[in-house]
Amino acid sequence: DIQMTQSPASLSASLEEIVTITCKASQDIDDYLSWYQQKSGKSPQLLIYDATSLADGVPSRFSGSRSGTQYSLKISRPQVDDSGIYYCLQTYSSPFTFGSGTKLEIK
Amino acid sequence: QVQLTESGPGLVHPSETLSLTCTVSGFSLTGYSVYWVRQPSGKGLEWMGRMRYNGDTSYNLALKSRLSISRDTSKNQVFLNMNSLQADDTGTYYCTRDWTGLDYWGQGVMVTVSS
């Protein structure tokens, strides 16, 4: 299985910061990487697909990037509503695997 | 519009079989793949398996011996069956559509394994 190592496990940020969450794949996944936001008691929502493409309706303050086998989700000037848990998912090779999640609090 | 709705029993006894149904609308199962994802209470997301648009299936290796995914395209339904349930199978089970990422999700169904 491909392992996705996600970090940090949790973070707290202010409205003026840039938030970065990373997922490192245990092997090349050729940009088959998506990011999801989950709020308490709700289903996950797609933010980014194919590593860098913004999903429909997602604010432009969210962006995705890649460096080697490390993928990053960046939130520029986050809003309070961006608080939640964020997950990455690799769909390069079955069985597909999620990262362990990052709990984000925006103060 | 696109919708996915999970249904099934909220309570399953240990060692019994879980049967869930994902009923979809707004798209065809022969054009899109559907995944099952679960989430133990207070924990992260786990990919369980998928029904591809062409009828092929693939599974999480840790669950493969217990898990079966099937479909009825005429009823727009995807089924999950998992046997030998234990307490650590308790959680919320989601079905979700794969297109450019997992773009639509059901609301989830909470399953408790308890005697």
> What is the predicted pLDDT for the residue at B31?
98
Distance CA B94, CA B45 (A): 10
How much of chain B, in percent, has pLDDT values that exceed 70? 100
Which chain A residues contact residue B50 at CB under 8 A?
Answer: 94, 96
Residue-wise pLDDT for B44-100, tens only, equals: 999 999 999 999 999 999 999 999 999 999 999 999 999 999 999 999 999 999 998
> What is the predicted pLDDT for the residue at A38?
98
> What is the predicted pLDDT for the residue at A16?
86
Taken as a whole, chain B contains a residue count of 115
Mutate to test the interface with A, among B104, B105, B107, B109 (most CBs of A within 10 A): B105
> What is the predicted pLDDT for the residue at B82?
98
Of B35, B59, B94, the CB nearest to A43: B94
Let me know: does A10 contact A19? Beta carbons within 8 Å. Answer: no
Query: What are the b/e assignments for A47-78, b being 16+ CB within 10 Å?
Result: bbbebeeebeebeeebbbebeebebbbbbeeb
pLDDT in tens, chain A (107 residues): 999 999 999 999 999 899 999 999 999 999 999 999 999 999 999 999 999 999 999 999 999 999 999 999 999 999 999 999 999 999 999 999 999 999 999 99
> What is the predicted pLDDT for the residue at B24?
98
Distance CA A46, CA A98 (A): 13
Check pLDDT > 90 for residue B18: yes
**Per the structure block, which two tokens stand in for B17?**
């079989």
Which chain A residues contact residue B107 at CB under 8 A?
Answer: 43
Please identify among residues 49-68 of chain B the ones whose CB lies closer than 8 Å to any CB of chain A: 49-50, 58-61
Contact A94 B44 (CB under 8 A): no
Distance CA A25, CA A90 (A): 8
Of B60, B98, B106, the CB nearest to A43: B106
**Per the structure block, which two tokens stand in for A58?**
């997602």
